[in-house]
Amino acid sequence: MATNNSFVYLEIEIENENVGRIVIELFTNIVPKTAENFRALCTGERGKSEKGKNLHYKGCTFHKLIPQMMVQGGDFIGNDGTGGESIYGKQFNDENFLINHDDGVVSMANSGPHTNGSQFFITTISCPHLDGSHVVFGRVVRGLGVLELIQKIPTEKDKPLKKLVISNCGELTRENNFGLIPNDGTIDVYPDYPQDADINFTIATEVVNVIQNIKTSGNEYYEKHNTLNAVKKYEKALRLLSDDDDAASKLKLNDYSATARNCTEVLHLNQRNIKALYRRGQAHLYLNNYNYSLCDLQHALRLSPNNTDIILALRE
């Protein structure tokens, strides 16, 4: 895609907790009118809608979630999928269907031909059945880890059972990795999710060093009695283990003890952290601490009875 395309971000909260940022490249060169609609709704620069609502995605919910397919939001009028409004008026025409619905694209939701407003959806798999009926206008370039987290939210009739909100949004540039690098005065200078980090996961020592820096940053918060930020750092370190199987295996082969220690620090702050119990159980298994391993894995299974990874680990 052309380098002059615009970039916008959506800051996401689940149950009032910030879980990260989704960065979207807008295909300004292919669908300029549709891309401009989304960009302006991210900045809020157009003021009020015809119905007196802010033309702004900030505070808007994701009202629809289909696991292994898509998440939909953008109805800043009713927050339930019944409304929405474009910067051009209530609705505007389909611009073109030149881009297909691959995974990770952003597309206009509609109720039929030429009924585009403000509602949009993000695909998490390829959806060719939507080609030719919905206008694709962007793609996710950062924040795939956030999308994976969203996909794990339980649903009922395609409605998320946890509050899922765009807490902030706007336009940005590529600087500072799209604003994903923390600036909190610690030595943690990495994005929150492995998918966004410039880390060579084939070099175990590099991954171990990154995890150590993040863990040290968590320790600094813990020593200052800032438990919330400490937990966030420890869980961030764990994501480097749990979200990349290759990195996880290389770490296990190189330093099981460090893995067990990292997980223990997380469990000191949150005894019900299933990932930490599972990873520590695996580490103890490779360290031949079979009783400790069994204890951790059984505890994790009680908290998550249908977790196939834990069940398989217990069978080893």
Task: Dump pLDDT digits (tens) for 111-121.
Answer: 999 999 999 99
Tokens of 262: 């990292």
pLDDT digits (tens, 9 = 90+) for 174-193: 765 687 888 888 998 888 88
Closest CA to 163 of 67, 79, 275: 79
Residue 143 CB neighbours (<10 A): 29
Q: Which of 125-134, 194-203, 238-247, 306-315 has the highest mean pLDDT?
A: 125-134
pLDDT per residue over 275-294, tens digit each?
888 888 888 887 888 888 88
So what's the pLDDT on residue 255?
64
What does pTM read for this prediction?
Answer: 0.73
- Out of 72-86, 124-138, 276-290, which region has the weakest mean confidence (pLDDT)? 276-290
The domains of the chain, with CATH numbers, are: 7-172 (2.40.100.10), 194-314 (1.25.40.10)
Q: How far apart are CA 277 and CA 245, in angstroms?
A: 17
Residue 316's pLDDT is what?
66
Number of neighbours of residue 225 by Cβ within 10 angstroms: 7
Asked if residue 259 lies in contact with residue 266, where contact means CB atoms within 8 angstroms, the answer is no
Confidence at residue 136, expressed as pLDDT on a 0 to 100 scale: 98
Q: Which tokens go with 241? A: 């283990």
What contacts 39, CB < 8 A, 6 or more positions away?
A: 6, 8, 26, 171
Q: What is the mean pLDDT of the chain?
A: 87
